[in-house]
Amino acid sequence: MQLTFVLSLFVFLLAPFAEAETAPAQMRALLMTGYGASDVLRVERVAVPTPASGEVRIRIHAASVNPIDWKIRSGKLQRNYSVDLPYIPGRDVAGTVDAIGAGVTRWKVGDAVFAVTSGGGLAEYVIAPADNIAAKPAKLSFEEAAGIPTASLAAWRTLITNGDIKRGQRVLIHGGAGGVGSTAVQLAHWRGAHVIATASERNHDYLKSIGADEVIDYRTTRFEDVVKDVDVVLDNVGGDTLQRSPAVLKEGGTLLTIVGMPPAQACSERKLRCPTPSTATKQKPGEELAQLGQLFDSGALQMSVEKVFPLEQAAQALDLSETGRARGKIVVRVLD
Ligand SMILES: NC(=O)c1ccc[n+]([C@@H]2O[C@H](COP(=O)([O-])OP(=O)(O)OC[C@H]3O[C@@H](n4cnc5c(N)ncnc54)[C@H](OP(=O)(O)O)[C@@H]3O)[C@@H](O)[C@H]2O)c1
């Protein structure tokens, strides 16, 4: 009996991975061959990757772009975040499970999913750890689901996991109209907070439509002239905006940022809670994505897609992200 169990386990772990019958040997992908402007990117044919143990291959329907993609391309992050060239940018994908590595039982070929990866998403196929995947929200298109992972995980981990936003708190969100900010505004509203968000004037109606109670045009108004004694600040902008933020918090308030280190002296002088930005989490990314997916399915969260590019124009999607002006998410459609 025990021998049968051990043999079955052995066969299960060593069994060749399961895959869809139609997987080709090659795929189209946006390939980065050096660092610099968008001319280091071009769509080429490369080998379709094979999932290792604990991994899943996804046939990508849509992917979304994040600032980290153009920051990697530009070479700005080379000191702290190196990638092997040639590199395929893109961390966020939605599609169907196409092949399963050994030991993966949670997913099967054909499942509609969305996932966060460490790169490779601007292509027809990508490999993701099985733990980084969640079922696609049924009410969202693949393009909308692809917009969720990196930005919404940042909003979730910062505001909910680290910030533990509560009903009745006053929250100031810098950069409310971006990929992270638009989910953050909705999460704070969903938790019952009073939401104040900054954006240029053209995004004010949008911000009110997703739950902002007050909006500030950062181009014409210094936020510290019109806001004071908030419980929480979430900074998605950094630099001078982050440095000026402690002044608007009540003593003992919370300063959250995803783009720099909180100013230590001001945090200590004003007795603020300033958790160090961290992506560390006790939950698996797939579990967090599943929670976010439920909120999108329930209608508590909505996905706003600024523009959809075909894969052939994916380099332009990174250029649009680099302008810093996108509302919500920028998406690349891979499968028509
Ligand atoms: N640490 C992490 O885990 C993590 C994760 C995701 C993102 N990030 C970082 O967080 C930042 C935001 O990411 P994102 O995806 O939200 O970027 P994004 O989508 O490119 O943000 C674009 C938005 O920023 C707004 N904006 C630009 N300058 C502003 C200012 N001075 N004040 C207020 N709003 C301003 C723009 O609004 P207007 O057009 O109205 O100006 C636009 O809607 C990036 O630096 C990104 O690299 C970090």
Nearest to 160 by CA among 256, 76, 44, 36: 256
151-269 domain in CATH 3.40.50.720? Answer: yes
Global confidence as pTM: 0.94
State which residues of the chain have pLDDT below 50: 1, 7, 10-16
Q: Are the CB atoms for 322 and 70 separated by under 8 Å?
A: yes
What is the per-residue pLDDT across 268-281, written as a single tens digit (0 to 9) for each? 999 999 988 765 56
Ligand 1: list residues with CB < 6 Å. Answer: 66-68, 150-151, 154, 174-175, 177-181, 198-200, 203, 218, 236-237, 241, 258-259, 277, 279, 321, 324-327
Residue to substitute in 233, 236, 330 for testing ligand 1 pocket (most ligand atoms within 8 angstroms of CB)? 236
* CATH among 3.40.50.1000, 2.40.30.10, 3.40.640.10, 3.90.180.10 for 2-148+303-333: 3.90.180.10
Residues in the chain: 336
Q: Are the CB atoms for 31 and 43 separated by under 8 Å?
A: yes
Q: Which atom of ligand 1 is nearest to the CA of 238?
A: 45
Which residue's CA is the nearest one to ligand 1's atom 35?
A: 175
pLDDT of residue 11: 44
Q: Are the CB atoms for 271 and 249 separated by under 8 Å?
A: no
Please tell me the distance from the alpha carbon of residue 93 to that of residue 146, in angstroms, as a whole number.
Answer: 5
- Residue 277, preceding bond cis, omega within 30 degrees? no
CA torsion 230-232-238-241 (nearest 10°) is: 0
How remote is the CA of residue 179 from the centroid of ligand 1, in Å?
Answer: 7
Which helix (H) or strand (E) covers residue 212, if one does?
A: none
Amino acid at 218: Y
Angle at CA of residue 38, ends 180 and 81, nearest 5°: 55
How remote is the CA of residue 226 from the centroid of ligand 1, in Å?
Answer: 22
Strand 249-257, strand 329-333: pairing: unpaired
Nearest to 287 by CA among 149, 106, 132, 127: 132
CATH 3.90.180.10 residue window(s) in the chain: 2-148+303-333
Nearest to 328 by CA among 72, 100, 76, 144: 144
Nearest to 299 by CA among 100, 139, 101: 139
How remote is the CA of residue 168 from the centroid of ligand 1, in Å?
Answer: 25
Q: Please state, as a whole number, how many other Cβ atoms lie within 10 Å of the Cβ of residue 79.
A: 7
Backbone angles phi, psi at 173, to 5 degrees: -115, 115
Which residue's CA is the nearest one to ligand 1's atom 6?
A: 151
How remote is the CA of residue 253 from the centroid of ligand 1, in Å?
Answer: 23
Cα 165 to the chain's mean position, in Å?
A: 20
What is the per-residue pLDDT across 159-206, written as a single tens digit (0 to 9) for each? 999 999 999 999 999 999 999 999 999 999 999 999 999 999 999 999
Backbone angles phi, psi at 23, to 5 degrees: -60, 125
CATH 3.40.50.720 residue window(s) in the chain: 151-269
Nearest to 102 by CA among 64, 53, 142: 53
Q: Which atom of ligand 1 is nearest to the CA of 202?
A: 40
Please tell me the distance from the alpha carbon of residue 153 to that of residue 30, in angstroms, as a whole number.
Answer: 24
Q: Which atom of ligand 1 is nearest to the CA of 158?
A: 3
pLDDT of residue 7: 46
Q: Are the CB atoms for 234 and 164 separated by under 8 Å?
A: no
Q: Which atom of ligand 1 is nearest to the CA of 279?
A: 3
Q: Are the CB atoms for 113 and 107 separated by under 8 Å?
A: yes
Please tell me the distance from the alpha carbon of residue 254 to that of residue 290, in angstroms, as a whole number.
Answer: 27
The region, left, alpha or beta by phi > 0 then psi within -120 to 50, assigned to residue 58 is beta
- The token duo for 248 is 């608007």
